[in-house]
Structure 1
Amino acid sequence: MENLDKLKIVIALLLVVLGVSGYYVMPVGDSMKWVRVFSVVFGVVGGGGVLLFSTPGKEFLVYARESYREAQKVVWPSRKEVWQITGFVFLFVLVLAVFMLTVDKSLEWLLYEQLLGRAR
């Protein structure tokens, strides 16, 4: 990464830090609330804008576009398939819960009542 890109990243981080710190430095009150919020928005948007003009920012934009294109290629399940899979998951969780309860109560009975000879 070249020095100009490093400088752009530092400037972007400073804008974000200044925007967020401006929110906490300004006086609290209903009349100043929009100024405080604008300070944060300006810092984040300004920092993002500066960052997008750096090499890592441009690489991120290319990555984001490619990711969006790949997400469009995904074949999503139909509503019926989603309900079937969801039903299967709920059924499996129910069966597992009953199994765990059975094991827990069996071990409790074995340990407390049979081996130790005391009931709870």
Structure 2
Amino acid sequence: MSNPQIETVSTGADKAKLAVAGILVIAAVAVFYVLGKQELWMRVGALLVLLAAAVATFFVSEPGKQLIAFGRDSVREVKKVVWPTRKEAGQMTLYVFAFVIVMALFLFLTDKTLEWVLYDLILGWKH
């Protein structure tokens, strides 16, 4: 199965919308610091308003619309998933713990056997 080619069409208007969104984010941060002598609520309010404007500008551009469509498709796919029951999840968790314990014992025994063979039998070192 071959992958279809994905074409991204980006118009000048979309590029301008993305540029405006970027400028609004930069302006939000700049305004927050420029209003440094103002009350905190005013600084945070200006920051949030400009960030909200940046997000709104992004979501009216084509990449923003594609992101929204991707999110909707993702939610639709997640609803199709058959999730395990509580009992099945508990059983699988116990299987994983049992496997981890068995692997830990195997690796410990392998390590100690190799240590004994190399240091005691081959090299003759006693610790």
Q: Which residue of 1 aligns with 2:97?
A: 90
Compare 90-99 and 4-13 and name the one that shifted more.
4-13
Unaligned runs of 5+ in 2: 1-9
Query: 1:32: Cα distance to partner?
Result: 4.5
Counterpart Cα distance in 2 of 1:54 and 1:110: 68
Query: 1:36: Cα distance to partner?
Result: 4.7
Contact 1:15 1:46 in 2 (8 A): yes
Unaligned runs of 5+ in 1: none
Give 4+ residue runs of structure 1 displaced > 6 Å after superposition: none
- Which one has the bigger helix percentage? 1
AA aligned opposite 1:17: I
Query: 3-state SS of the aligned residue for 1:41?
Result: helix
1:7-86 to structure 2, matched below 5 A, reads: 7-23=16-32, 27=36, 32-86=39-93
Counterpart Cα distance in 2 of 1:81 and 1:8: 49
Report 1 or 2 for greater relative contact order, CA contacts < 8 Å, sequence distance ≥ 6.
1
Q: Deviations over 1:84-119 (max 9, x none)?
A: 000000000010000000111111111111111112
Structure 1 residues 105 and 4, CA gap change in structure 2 (3 angstroms): same
Alignment size in residue pairs: 118
Counterpart Cα distance in 2 of 1:102 and 1:25: 65
Compare 42-51 and 87-96 and name the one that shifted more.
42-51
Query: 1:13: Cα distance to partner?
Result: 1.6
Compare 53-62 and 77-86 and name the one that shifted more.
53-62
Structural RMSD (CA)? 2.2
